[in-house]
Structure formats: C-alpha cells, structure tokens
Chain A
Amino acid sequence: MYVAVKGGEKAIENAHRLLADRRRGDQSIPELTLDQISGQLALAVDRVMSEGSLYDRELAALAIKQARGDLIEAIFLVRAYRTTLPRFGYSEPVDTSEMKLERRISATYKDLPGGQMLGPTFDYTHRLLDPGLAMGTVPQEPEQSHETTVKAMRVSDILAQEGLIESDGEASSREPADITRTPMEFPLERETRLQALSRGDEGFLLALGYSTQRGYARNHPFVGEVRIGEVEVSFHAPELGGSVIIGRVQVTECQMVNQFKGSAKAPPQFTRGYGLVFGQSERKAMSMALCDRALRAGELGEDRVAPAQDEEFVISHSDNVQATGFVEHLKLPHYVDFQAELGLVRKMRADHTASSQPNTDLEAAE
C-alpha cells in the first residue's frame, strides 16, 4: 500500500545538523574566529556590510562564518537582522571632503592638492600566487605618512570652481527617501536610485558598468577621483543641543566625470556619475558611478537604448537577496502546477495525434 511522504520536519532538522557539521569542517583544525575573519578577510566583510546595508564588522564576520563563506547568503543574514532594528532617525549627510584618507587617486589630474595616495591596493601587484603567504609570514612594517589626518579637496570641487562640472545639487530639506521603509515607485528620484545601487549586487553592477564602456550607453567616463577613508557620522539630536558625532565609518567614494554636450538651457559642462559604498570596494563604487550616470539618460536628454540606462530593469534586478531568493525558489515543490501542465500537454498531444491523421489525407486530396 502507498504511504504519502511524511516527516518533512525531521528531515529539515537532520539537514540543519549536517549543515552545522559541514560548516565546522575538520574539527582537528582550529575554528575560525570573528576577529580573524574581520581582520584577514576584510574585503569580504566590507562587501557584506555594503550590500547588507549595515555597518558592523563583527556582525558581518559572523554572517560570513555562518554562511560558510557564501557572501550572498551572509548579506541575506545581515539584511534579515537589520530589518528588525528600531530606527531612531537619520544621520546628517556625511561630508566626504572631510574624509580621513587612506587612498585617493585621480585619473584626471597628474598631481593635485593633497596628492595621489595609493594606499592598500592590489593595483600594480603581480598576480602571482605567493607560496610565502601559505606558510604564514610576518609582513614588513608599513610606511605611512605621519600626519594623523590626511584631508584633501575633492576633484569635483576643483572642477566646480570653474563651473566645468555640474553642481552637487541642493540637498532637499524633506526627510530622505528610504527604500527599506517605503515601496519603490518608478520612476525613481536619483537619491532613491543611488540607495538601491549602493546595496546592489557588485557583480551585476560591474557587468552593467562594463557594458557602458563597450558601447551600450557609452558615457565617456574619467575617474575624477576614487577616495577611501573614514568619515564621521553625526546625528542631529535637539535634546542634546545639536549634532553629535556617533561614530566613524569607512567608505569608498567614486566621482566619475563624464562628457556632456550641453543643451539649449545648459552650457556644455561635465556631468557626473556617483558611487558611494561602505568599506573598501573600489570596483563596486566605480561600477555604481557608471550605472548612476547611465541611468541619468532621461534627465540629460539622451536616448535610452541600452540595458544600463533602463531604470526599471537595472533597479528591479540589482538586489542579490531578492534575486537569489526568487531563482532558488524554483527548487521548492511546484508539483501542483506541473500536474496542470502535464494534463495540458497530454491533452494537446492527444489532439495532435487525433488531428494529424485526417489532416494528412486532406492535404493529399487538395
């Protein structure tokens, strides 16, 4: 006699136990600590904070450990935690011109006030696997500037002095849009779009940014500046008599300088694409800036012809937590719908067989 499948509950429990075992791996090997992850896999932590939209190195490290190094899963864990946190209010805008720089480069000027600062970059390393690292080596003491605070004027401000580049625009006085608290409605304000891009999937934005360079919405970019460093976050609290600094966060900012012909209303000037992400992630900040600029096509009177310029397409598909959930839901049971399709295909095949016989005769007779 047939017995329907039961015991889903037990199976799930067992699966989770196996997962915990596999996550730990060989127990004769020391377990990873969160300090090790946040200290030695810092860029993974940065990505999880950035796309998880939560600045907390320890939680991000925990998420990476819990996710067995699957960064999208870790981002998901962080997001699901973040969403339960109470919202006290919104910080003041951070001032990136006051950034305590660790890295700052410009492709548009050979030298500039504050200078080019390479910082901890992979650029110019030869990508040769380093056996020494496998053995464990003590790195040399880094040589760094003795100034405790390195600040520099932003390249966009230099260009703005001459009116050569569009201005930053005025921050509106109303409460900023918050894509985690209000449903997005297309078309979006640029601030809303930038929020979505900042938590968007690095790989997706990278591919779209790349596509703009290959002619799908070419927008002639120059890296005006990439800067990485710490900025102060302050919070306006009237009960404390004004703004208080509540912490510092590391961010990467990219200002892309793009060409623009000018229009009847505006004289020719450079336009900008903007990228800002938590932690150190140049690739993401640059991709974001390319996409931001491409998505401004409508505003700047350009033809919208390429995927990177299509706001609904880009923003609706940039969130990797949404994407992975929906793609992976395909493995959930769908047998009820599949049954319906089975029935239909059988019926259509039967109809086809029934009708193909006489039809052949008919055609022959004609």
Chain B
Amino acid sequence: MNANPSLNGAHPYNDPGSDEPLLQVRSLSKLYGSRIGCTNVEFDLWPGEVLAIVGESGSGKTTLLNCISTRLVPTAGGVRYRMRDGRMRELFGLEEAERRFLMRTDWGFVHQNPADGLRMSVSAGANVGERLMAVGERNYGQIRKTAGDWLSRVEIEMDRIDDQPRAFSGGMRQRLQIARNLVTSPRLVFMDEPTGGLDVSVQARLLDLLRGLVTDLGLAAIIVTHDLAVARLLSHRMIVMKDGKVIETGLTDRVLDDPQAPYTQLLVSSILQV
C-alpha cells in the first residue's frame, strides 16, 4: 500500500484548540457576467468547527460553497487551506493533481442529491472503497472490512454491502454518501443541503447521525442550508447571506436568538422557533 500513512492515523491538526485556522477565505467574489454570485466574502474556519451558510435560494450560498471547494473558480479573492503538512496553501495556486488529491483524501463533499455523489451502478461496498483504492489500497479483504465498518457507522446493515445504491431509500443513499466521503478520514467536509429532499423523520435521523460523526471525528464542516433548524442543530457558527453578500455572522445561538441585521430578524421570525 502506497497511501499516505497519515490517512489512517490521528490528525495532529484536528485539535479544536489549535490556534491556527484550517481555512481562510479572503475577498472572495464570483460574478456571472454582471450578475453577482457572491461578493467580498471573508471568514476563517477553525479545525473541528462547523460553519453553516444560510440564506434563501438565490442568496449565493451554493456559489460560495462551490468556490471554496474549488469546484468553481472565483472572479476575485482567494482561499487558503492548511495542508496535512501544516503549510497554508492558496487553493487556486495548487496543481490540478494536488487539488484532486486533496478533494478525494482530505476533503469530503456531500451533495444534496446522493446520485450526484455516488456511483449508482456499483455496490455500496465499492462506493465506500473507491477512495481507498484511489490512494493505493490493494487488499480486497481489507477494503471490504473498512467499507463494512463505515456502513455500520452510518447504520447500514452489513448484508447490504453488495447492493447497489439504486436499491436504497433516499435516507440510506445519503448515509452511504456520507460514509463514502468519510472513509479517508478527511479533515473538512462540505455539505450542500444534506437533508434536503428527505422526509422530516428521515431528516431527524440523519441530522442525529451527522452530529455524532462530526463530534466523534472532530471534523470541520461547511454546511449550506436554507433550513435554520439544521444550522441550529449542527453548526457552531453561521453566516447569513442575501443577494450574494454576507449580512450577518456570529455564533449560531447568538445569531438565531439575537439577530442583529433586519434581514436576519425577518428570516428567524419567519420560521418556527427550534
């Protein structure tokens, strides 16, 4: 196995008390012609911290997420990330090979629609095992065992390991997508409306699971959601966006209980309290 050995070990930088940020976003803007996707966004994300980006649809939150995760190239500004060797690197200065390696080892990306993040026609086991094989794991039994462990962590029965995700319910698919992302022990996970499109009861179970995993693994996460309940349950800090701009930012409880900006007040009051 020629994989990066630190993949399986503990993360020296996952200590939430670490005094350096994991990710720094500076003056980030994305324009579509003359239309603003997001503009002049700045924040730091700390190891183990969960940040929620909330706003209505069209507020620019998904654009922002895609820029930070290098899926979109911003018009201006930059994103710096602390690599596993401790060095801060500008993401848009990385070679494509480095960036793709980062994306499939140190990062995860959970799509709203699991079909976008899964291979629907290969088994659950291979879906989880793919990242391991991509970084050089060559022992079938070991890959299968690790995949099985992860399936059980996301509450999928071991006897479903050879089934394809198309035979799974929406909630199961989403849990499988999460397992597929976490198998290389990433330090940062991006989530785009991870509970969107699921029934309320299924949502609750998934949120519970996510909260447990994030805490247990000390994961840092950036979650885009229009659902303030999701932000309340999962995030430490939140950013409120409107028309591509950051309207308000702060600790989640503070923003939700004592919103400062008029728009945030409107947003908070327009939903049932949680």
* A262 CB, nearest partner CB in chain B, Å: 11
Among residues of B, the one whose C-beta sits closest to the C-beta of A263 is B33
Interface positions of A (Cβ within 8 A of B): 263-265
The CA of A264 and the CA of B33, in the complex, are separated in Å by 6
Say yes or no: is B169 at the interface (Cβ < 8 Å to chain A).
Answer: no
User: What 6 pairs across the A-B complex have the smallest Cβ distances?
Assistant: A264-B33, A264-B34, A265-B33, A263-B33, A264-B35, A264-B32
Q: List 6 A-B contacts (CB under 8 A).
A: A263-B33, A264-B32, A264-B33, A264-B34, A264-B35, A265-B33
Interface positions of B (Cβ within 8 A of A): 32-35
A264 neighbours in B (Cβ, 8 Å): 32-35
B32 neighbours in A (Cβ, 8 Å): 264
The CA of A265 and the CA of B34, in the complex, are separated in Å by 9
Main secondary structure, interface of A, reads loop
Among residues of A, the one whose C-beta sits closest to the C-beta of B33 is A264
A265 neighbours in B (Cβ, 8 Å): 33
The CA of A263 and the CA of B33, in the complex, are separated in Å by 8
Among residues of B, the one whose C-beta sits closest to the C-beta of A264 is B33
Among residues of A, the one whose C-beta sits closest to the C-beta of B31 is A264
* B73 CB, nearest partner CB in chain A, Å: 16
B33 neighbours in A (Cβ, 8 Å): 263-265
* A29 CB, nearest partner CB in chain B, Å: 58
A263 neighbours in B (Cβ, 8 Å): 33
The CA of A5 and the CA of B34, in the complex, are separated in Å by 74
B34 neighbours in A (Cβ, 8 Å): 264
* B102 CB, nearest partner CB in chain A, Å: 26
* A352 CB, nearest partner CB in chain B, Å: 16
* A305 CB, nearest partner CB in chain B, Å: 15
The CA of A344 and the CA of B160, in the complex, are separated in Å by 26
The CA of A263 and the CA of B34, in the complex, are separated in Å by 10
B35 neighbours in A (Cβ, 8 Å): 264
The CA of A264 and the CA of B36, in the complex, are separated in Å by 12
The CA of A264 and the CA of B35, in the complex, are separated in Å by 8
The CA of A169 and the CA of B33, in the complex, are separated in Å by 22
The CA of A265 and the CA of B32, in the complex, are separated in Å by 11
Among residues of A, the one whose C-beta sits closest to the C-beta of B32 is A264
Among residues of A, the one whose C-beta sits closest to the C-beta of B35 is A264
* B39 CB, nearest partner CB in chain A, Å: 16
Among residues of B, the one whose C-beta sits closest to the C-beta of A265 is B33
The CA of A264 and the CA of B34, in the complex, are separated in Å by 7
The CA of A265 and the CA of B35, in the complex, are separated in Å by 11
* A254 CB, nearest partner CB in chain B, Å: 32
* A349 CB, nearest partner CB in chain B, Å: 20
Among residues of A, the one whose C-beta sits closest to the C-beta of B34 is A264
* A359 CB, nearest partner CB in chain B, Å: 14
The CA of A263 and the CA of B32, in the complex, are separated in Å by 10
